[in-house]
Amino acid sequence: MGKRGLRRLPVTALVSVCAVLIGVAVSGGASPLPGLELSQAGHWIASPALNLVLFVNGSAKSVDAQVPVAGLEPGSQVVQGPTSGYVIGKSAIVEFGKSNLSVDRTLPSPSGERPALVEASGGPYLVYREAGRVVRLGSGFTTLPAGGPLGTPVATADGTLWLNRTDSGALCRLAKDADTVTCRDNLGAGHTGGLSIAGDRAVFVDTTTDTIREVSGDRPGEPVAIEKDLSPAAQIAPADADGRIAVLEPERRQLHLLDAGGFAAGRAPARPIEVDLPDGVYSNPTASASSVVLLDLTRHKVLTYGPDGNPRQTTAIPPESGTPQLVRGDDKRVYVDGGEGKHVLVVDPDGKVAQVPVTPGKAPAPATSPQQPPPATQPPAQQPPKVRPDVRADGPKQPPPVRRTEPPVTQQQKPIPPSPPGIPGRLTARLQGSDARITWDAAAGNRAAVTAYHVTWKPSSGAGAGASELAGTARSTVIAGLRAGITYTVTVVAENSAGRGTPATTRVTGPAVPKPTITVTRGKTGTYEPDPAECSAPDCAKMHVVVRGFAPNTEYHFTPHCGCTYSNEGRSFTTDANGAVTFEAFDFGAVGKQAWVTADNGVSSPRYTWPPG
């Protein structure tokens, strides 16, 4: 119940409303409750097998409401606003009322891409990361361009949606009632990392510079070193757990817990806590109020850790749940959704895990009519003696007539035709050098043999998409030549004689991009021709500049500096396809003085003491 709802309803009325709601949900009725804003607490899931959308009460660990939605698409997600819920499928968006528990309207999906869902004041929002678009649901249906591919979004309590551009390094925001995505801060192209929420402030963890900075104030905060060397493939949890932000290093099998509490309090942060993980493949981390939650996709388990790094609970995921995903609810619980909508695991704020079977509600037994009082007693009427049918007055007993019964006629059962296969199980993608090894378990054939598996992969930006068709007996393949630092979405779908089934999806990030570096040494000796008096051989020479790990095919401006009297406006150079460039420029001859070069993305070379010629 939203705060406004609590102010409008007294406690007794509130209890009555809850009772009515539960009755409506269980009986399948849809009596509207005008003006009622239902609570955001809890989580809605889609169950295509049941053609139902169900509300999971995280506190009670129960399914408390259901909405029939015909033709639910496999892989559908559900996001909720104050009064409506939205089923997000590949081809359509279905809006349903949370008070009348019925479908209100169906809209075409703006993209076949699976969006990130954000429940926030002013929303909810769909963020199509690869397309670089934000869709605001609610009374309207507004699509807002962000200008380029996006990282994982987060939202603060005031309803502001925070985004980061993965191509340019821009930090962007969409205010609660704004109609434009505004990008005001630029980290520079090539910077990797992700957004998170520390307390109620948006922060950016920069894995290129190994810093954290606040982005939600009037002006961006200064970067603060986190004393940990993070790789570009590091995955950032979208919120803190008791002041610690979880960072997963998937290739190193490590979990780092950054001291966001100290950062938010304006003091020097404590050193990160490091947790070594068992060998395996893990999903992006998330957090409940005071625990970190991971999915171990290799062993199909949920792992929870305290903010001190100590393990709290390991729980097996039901095998029929399909490919699971983690969803952080508005109640600061984490919900582990099964890919097929058959089970939900609820992770409480303290890290304890409970299973909630997804079952439709049962209609209550019909009410019985009150018993009528018995009529006044009357003396029994005299009945004539019954004549037994098997006794004749003038002879012995006769057997009763034989009644011939025919065997029941049964309708011949028609064989159930095959249907498309189930979802491939336990899909994993593991980086091996610059290649990715993709493995999966067999998909259910559904009364027909699986004849093929179709594997597709698509990078988050640029070229490199591909596809392959494998035999029905295949359980693995290799995708060769992943681009450094680029995340690929990998999809595997099974096919049989009835068609293609539900796809399984995972992600894998290419090899780590080297940190951007600039080095300066003495280059070719010469004389500064415009004014030999300023710089002449043999002490005068060009600076030899080597640039590595920058964004590929991008122009940067480089400026030389000196710990002395020196002025040079610098020059621009463009990196190659590997993000590197080497050049000689900037005449310099101050022997014994320190020289260095900076780029316009903030990267600076070490200081180099100029030698004599």
Would you list the DSSP string of 467-488? EEEEETT--EEEE--PPTT-EE
Q: Per mean pLDDT, which range of 51-55, 102-106, 345-349, 385-389 is the poorest?
A: 385-389
- Residue 20 to residue 365: CA distance in whole angstroms: 16
- Residue 176 to residue 181: CA distance in whole angstroms: 11
pLDDT band at 377 (very low <50, low <70, confident <90, very high): very low
Q: 272: which DSSP letter?
A: P
- Residue 479 to residue 289: CA distance in whole angstroms: 38
Tell me the pairing of strands 154-155 and 161-164: antiparallel
Each residue of 192-218: pLDDT tens digit? Answer: 889 999 988 899 999 888 888 888 766
Instruction: Answer whether 306's CB lies under 8 Å from 275's CB.
Output: no
425-509 and 517-609: same fold? yes
- Residue 39 to residue 35: CA distance in whole angstroms: 13
Each residue of 506-516: pLDDT tens digit? Answer: 999 988 877 89
Q: Which two tokens stand for residue 76?
A: 């559908």
- Residue 66 to residue 289: CA distance in whole angstroms: 27
Q: Per mean pLDDT, which range of 2-6, 93-97, 262-266, 315-319 is the poorest?
A: 2-6
Rg (CA), the chain: 33
Q: Per DSSP, what are the bridge partners of residue 506?
A: 490
- Residue 109 to residue 94: CA distance in whole angstroms: 9
Tell me the pairing of strands 77-80 and 435-441: unpaired
Instruction: Answer whether 324's CB lies under 8 Å from 364's CB.
Output: no
Q: Which amino acid is at 252?
A: R
Dihedral pair phi/psi, residue 184, rounded to 5°: -120, -25
pLDDT band at 266 (very low <50, low <70, confident <90, very high): low
Q: What pLDDT, on the 0 to 100 scale, is given for residue 87?
A: 94
Instruction: Answer whether 37's CB lies under 8 Å from 50's CB.
Output: no
Each residue of 514-549: pLDDT tens digit? Answer: 789 999 999 999 988 888 888 888 999 999 999 998
Span 423-449, average pLDDT: 91
Q: Structural domain boundaries of the chain?
A: 1-109, 192-361, 425-509, 517-609
Q: Per DSSP, what are the bridge partners of residue 440?
A: none
pLDDT band at 263 (very low <50, low <70, confident <90, very high): low
> Helix or strand or coil: residue 98?
coil
- Residue 426 to residue 324: CA distance in whole angstroms: 9
Q: Which two tokens stand for residue 72?
A: 């639910």
- Residue 13 to residue 420: CA distance in whole angstroms: 49
Nearest CA to 296 out of 282, 310, 309 is that of 282
% of the chain at pLDDT higher than 70: 81
Q: Which two tokens stand for residue 340?
A: 């097929």
Q: What pLDDT, on the 0 to 100 scale, is given for residue 126?
A: 94
Question: 486 or 338: whose pLDDT is higher?
Answer: 486
- Residue 530 to residue 497: CA distance in whole angstroms: 78
Span 377-399, average pLDDT: 43
Q: What residues contact 304, with CB distance under 8 A and at least 6 apart?
A: 288, 291, 292, 293, 294, 311, 312, 313, 314, 347, 351, 352, 353
pTM surpassing 0.85?
Answer: no
pLDDT band at 14 (very low <50, low <70, confident <90, very high): very low
- Residue 301 to residue 346: CA distance in whole angstroms: 13
- CATH code: domain 192-361 is 2.130.10.10
Instruction: Answer whether 72's CB lies under 8 Å from 51's CB.
Output: yes
Instruction: Answer whether 247's CB lies under 8 Å from 260's CB.
Output: no
Span 65-80, average pLDDT: 88
Nearest CA to 240 out of 206, 291, 189 is that of 291
Instruction: Answer whether 226's CB lies under 8 Å from 205's CB.
Output: yes
User: What is the Cα 573 distance to its own chain's centre?
Assistant: 38
pLDDT surpasses 70 at 387? no
Fold for domain 425-509? Immunoglobulin-like (2.60.40)
Q: Which two tokens stand for residue 307?
A: 């903010």
Torsion of CA 18, 22, 27, 30, to 10 degrees: 50
DSSP per-residue letters across 399-422: PPPPPP-PPPP-PPPPPPPP----
Q: Per DSSP, what are the bridge partners of residue 172?
A: 163, 183
pLDDT surpasses 70 at 312? yes
- Residue 196 to residue 85: CA distance in whole angstroms: 25
pLDDT surpasses 70 at 75? yes
Dihedral pair phi/psi, residue 199, rounded to 5°: 70, -110
pLDDT surpasses 60 at 399? no
DSSP per-residue letters across 322-363: -S-EEEE-TTS-EEEE-TTSSEEEEE-TTS-EEEEE-----P
Nearest CA to 221 out of 243, 205, 245 is that of 205
Q: What residues contact 373, with CB distance under 8 A and at least 6 apart?
A: none
Instruction: Answer whether 272's CB lies under 8 Å from 228's CB.
Output: yes
Residue 124 preceded by cis peptide, ω within 30: yes
- CATH code: domain 517-609 is 2.60.40
Each residue of 272-288: pLDDT tens digit? Answer: 999 999 888 888 899 99
Q: What pLDDT, on the 0 to 100 scale, is given for residue 339?
A: 66
- Residue 323 to residue 424: CA distance in whole angstroms: 8
- Residue 22 to residue 389: CA distance in whole angstroms: 57
pLDDT surpasses 60 at 15? no
Instruction: Answer whether 191's CB lies under 8 Å from 205's CB.
Output: no
pLDDT surpasses 90 at 50? no
- CATH code: domain 1-109 is 2.40.10.480
